[in-house]
Copies of this chain bind each other. A is one copy, B any other.
């Protein structure tokens, strides 16, 4: 099977999420990484490229040059992964979209609604695809949950409880913590902290699974760590289409939580619960019956049980495989083998940006409801 030629913007030495994207792109062997603008520091860009086996002439000093040069090559990249910090998503995304190169962009979309709308316009104007790596939607049981809701197994959705709790920012960040530094610098995040970094994931999971959209929200945001300028704890209430109600908690100061993204959905016929830290398991309770443990690829899931999964039930898949499924679907979409119906795109990105801005607006007003 032919591999999709891939480039990468950002993700040089020392970066975290770039490495994740690369592993995700390799797992199902659908991509080959052949070009990059891996760092804004030229030496680091070159060294990173060499480490990754990218030919020197395809290691670029900046994304604009890369977009132009690759678009001009017969063997130029077909897709690019954008893994820069959030405030540097928009310009490269637009550049590659304009060059007709498919864009796989890390989340959240960007750091302002203005930028978000610029990207959206570029997506609209381009024939290229735009995929936002809300990677948690790649977990097989999350897709299973979405299908169950769509099939009516839960009935009319009433209540959605979404949480994303971490504790790694419980203390004021050290100067040396690169991952922390930009996440708590409002000039680089656009003003949001936990709401953008992790809250958008929780919202995305809730809307992806339920098929419902937020109609209004109210938020109580706190910055608990001394001196912090962005929220590190967010309590959000949601009113969703169809009358469902939601609670969303995002925290980076909840001591004892590593990456506790959880989703619970309740309808008039059934309820489900799922937790990212043990993602191969989901509970499903039809009203009046015993709770069932649904496992990834396991018994009772019917014909599609093995979709989006590589190894048999009981052989756990994890974060990287879920991420890889986004990449595999992207490859299918790019190669015309799939419709990308399950892939988060510009719509999810705009919804996330609305969420961030509405939370900030609500909190600034003392906790009022903000309609969409």
Contact = CB atoms under 8 A, between A and B. Distances in A.
Interface of A: 1, 3, 16, 19-20, 22-23, 26-29, 51-53, 154, 158-159, 161, 166-168, 170-171, 218, 220, 222, 224, 233, 235, 237, 239, 243, 245-247, 249, 251, 253-260, 264, 266-273, 276-281, 283-295, 298-300, 310-321, 366-369
A315 B310 contact: no
Nearest to A369: B367
A89 to B, nearest CB: 21
B276 A316 contact: yes
A317 to B, nearest CB: 5
B249 A270 contact: no
Q: Which 10 A-B pairs have the closest CB atoms?
A: A259-B314, A258-B314, A256-B285, A255-B271, A316-B318, A318-B318, A256-B271, A315-B319, A290-B292, A291-B293
Contacts of A26: 26-27, 29
A367 B53 CA distance: 57
A290 B293 contact: yes
A164 to B, nearest CB: 10
Given A258-B314, A271-B167, A290 B285 contact: no
B320 A277 contact: no
Given A158-B224, A290-B293, A292-B291, A316 B278 contact: yes
Contact of A29 (B22, B254, B368): B22
A313 B258 contact: yes
Contacts of A27: 23, 26-27, 320
A266 B251 contact: yes
B283 A280 contact: no
Given A251-B266, A253-B159, A315 B315 contact: no
A305 B235 CA distance: 32
Contact of A287 (B255, B295, B298): B255
A299 B292 CA distance: 12
